[in-house]
């Protein structure tokens, strides 16, 4: 029978130090298990849900989940994996993003039972002497051991002092909340290790680090990220979520089941082998996975309904039943006249982030008007000629003009 330490370590990449989790559990009290999330963007993704799922596992085992909303550190931007300094966010931008996080995190963890903290509580009031003490615990050589800093240094790219402070500030979070365990993705390993060093410097027993795998995005290559547009957001509508999941490469089906649904490792191995040797049909298994993920975030039955909508559009080439509508009266007529460019119509209706984005979609053959591909990025039509017609971007985004 697996021990508590083995069960909690299941599906992880590293537990540092080896045997450390078992020693913490031997203390015989609920552990304080920390997870920090910077609200640098308004939506959490299935990638975030992987580490949130591990936090929920600790909760279910009787431990105290400490979720830190990085309302101070998000203003700096985590340099992990960055090839250049990230733009600094304003306090208002961070606050707006943070407001959405708890509702989204609540789809995975028990927010009511968790301890929710914002690190502006202690970092926003830190005085200069405390900052100097914090900075004295690390060396420049130590910081340059970090891969992204080392690569930028060798390439002659700038590294700001603010970025060097980020791991120390994240580490101080562990001091402030007295963390026994800290969770994070493998891209956070340097920051998590720094937390152990900062705790030692403040006379505390260092935390145990538990890292989880990074979920690949829809492209099947890079980690899931909104900035790479290869993500599935937890707030995604069921039809959109199902359609995106159906687009992943077949080789990722078993991994998505393992990381997004926490299936048993033996079941994961069975699916992985079956898809590879052809004994499991990839499309059937992908549908099963997509239904289960949609059900998890939208309730039982949502996955089957999303699958039916997917088939209506992609198998029978019918229009979705619940197409959004946009008034032609609200379209930006060109030069005050009665015409509007398709690019401007897409942007106005929310199917493109800008007219430039819309023109790129048109040029790439990704825009259809009543099922016909629009090929001219500069195409203009009379606004009244759009009434009752349907614009489509990609496979899953539609709007009908009324």
pLDDT at 320 (0 to 100): 67
Indicate whether 82 pLDDT > 80: no
User: Do 310 and 328 reside in the same domain of the chain?
Assistant: no
For residue 223, being part of any structural domain is answered with no
For residue 282, being part of any structural domain is answered with yes
Tell me the C-alpha distance between 304 and 43, whole Å.
24
For residue 205, being part of any structural domain is answered with yes
Question: What is the arithmetic mean of pLDDT over 66-72?
Answer: 92
pLDDT at 383 (0 to 100): 80
Residue scoring higher pLDDT (70 or 34): 34
pLDDT at 83 (0 to 100): 52
Question: What is the arithmetic mean of pLDDT over 87-91?
Answer: 71
pLDDT at 180 (0 to 100): 98
Residue scoring higher pLDDT (306 or 82): 306
For residue 217, being part of any structural domain is answered with no
User: Do 282 and 380 reside in the same domain of the chain?
Assistant: no
Question: What is the arithmetic mean of pLDDT over 255-273?
Answer: 90
User: Do 285 and 339 reside in the same domain of the chain?
Assistant: no
Indicate whether 313 pLDDT > 80: no
User: Do 151 and 276 reside in the same domain of the chain?
Assistant: no
Tell me the C-alpha distance between 144 and 81, whole Å.
13
Q: Residue 216 forms beta bridges with which residues? A: 223
For residue 382, being part of any structural domain is answered with yes
Q: Where residue 158 sits, what CATH number does that domain have?
A: 3.40.50.620
- Torsion, Cα 197 198 202 208, to 10 degrees, reads -60
User: Do 67 and 206 reside in the same domain of the chain?
Assistant: yes
CA angle 97, 91, 133 (to 5 degrees): 115
pLDDT at 96 (0 to 100): 78
User: Do 48 and 165 reside in the same domain of the chain?
Assistant: yes
User: Do 117 and 202 reside in the same domain of the chain?
Assistant: yes
Number of compact structural domains in the chain? 3
pLDDT at 335 (0 to 100): 58
Q: Where residue 372 sits, what CATH number does that domain have?
A: 3.10.290.10
List pLDDT tens digits, range 12-49: 999 999 999 999 999 999 999 999 988 877 788 999 99
What's the pTM? 0.74
List pLDDT tens digits, range 336-383: 567 888 988 888 888 888 888 888 888 878 888 877 788 888 888 888
**Which helix (H) or strand (E) element contains residue 185?**
strand 181-185
User: Do 203 and 243 reside in the same domain of the chain?
Assistant: no
For residue 332, being part of any structural domain is answered with yes
User: Do 96 and 208 reside in the same domain of the chain?
Assistant: yes
Domain termination site, one of 212, 246, 273: 212
User: Do 21 and 94 reside in the same domain of the chain?
Assistant: yes
User: Do 193 and 246 reside in the same domain of the chain?
Assistant: no
Q: Look at residue 252 and give its three-state secondary structure.
A: helix
Domain termination site, one of 296, 314, 332: 314
User: Do 199 and 249 reside in the same domain of the chain?
Assistant: no
Q: Provide the residue range defining the domain that includes 288.
A: 238-314
């Amino acid at each position: 029978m697996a021990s508590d330490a083995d069960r909690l370590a299941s599906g992880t990449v590293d537990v540092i130090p080896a045997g450390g989790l078992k020693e913490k559990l031997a203390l015989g009290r609920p552990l304080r298990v920390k997870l920090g999330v910077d609200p640098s963007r308004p939506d959490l993704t299935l990638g975030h849900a992987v580490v949130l799922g591990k936090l929920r596992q600790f909760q279910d085992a009787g431990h105290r989940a400490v979720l830190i909303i990085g309302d101070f550190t998000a203003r700096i931007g985590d340099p992990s994996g960055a090839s250049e300094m990230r733009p600094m966010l304003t306090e208002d931008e961070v606050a707006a993003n943070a407001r959405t996080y708890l509702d989204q995190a609540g789809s995975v963890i028990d927010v009511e039972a968790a301890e929710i903290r914002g690190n502006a509580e202690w970092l926003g009031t830190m005085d200069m002497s405390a900052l100097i003490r914090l900075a004295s615990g690390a060396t420049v050589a130590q910081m340059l051991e970090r891969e992204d800093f080392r690569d930028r240094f060798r390439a002659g790219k700038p590294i700001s002092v603010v970025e060097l402070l980020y791991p120390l500030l994240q580490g101080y979070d562990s001091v402030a909340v007295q963390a026994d365990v800290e969770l994070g993705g493998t891209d956070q390993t340097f920051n998590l290790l720094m937390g152990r060093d900062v705790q030692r410097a403040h006379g505390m027993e260092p935390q145990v680090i538990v890292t989880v795998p990074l979920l690949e995005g829809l492209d099947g290559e890079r980690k899931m990220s909104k900035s790479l547009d290869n993500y599935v957001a937890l707030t995604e509508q069921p039809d959109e979520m199902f359609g995106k999941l159906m687009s992943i490469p077949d080789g990722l089906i078993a991994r998505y089941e393992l990381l997004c649904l926490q299936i048993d490792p033996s079941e994961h191995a069975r699916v992985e082998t079956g898809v590879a040797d052809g004994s499991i049909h990839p499309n059937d298994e992908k549908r099963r996975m997509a239904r289960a993920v949609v059900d998890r975030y939208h309730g039982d039955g949502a996955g089957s309904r999303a699958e039916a909508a997917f088939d209506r559009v992609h198998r029978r080439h019918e229009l979705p039943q619940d197409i959004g509508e946009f008034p032609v009266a609200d379209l930006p007529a060109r030069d005050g006249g009665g015409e509007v460019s398709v690019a401007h119509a897409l942007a106005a209706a929310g199917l493109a982030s800008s007219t430039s984005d819309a023109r790129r979609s048109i040029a790439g053959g990704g825009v259809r008007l009543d099922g016909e591909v629009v090929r001219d990025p500069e195409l203009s039509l009379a606004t009244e000629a759009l009434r009752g017609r349907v614009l489509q971007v990609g496979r899953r985004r539609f709007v009908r003009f009324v």
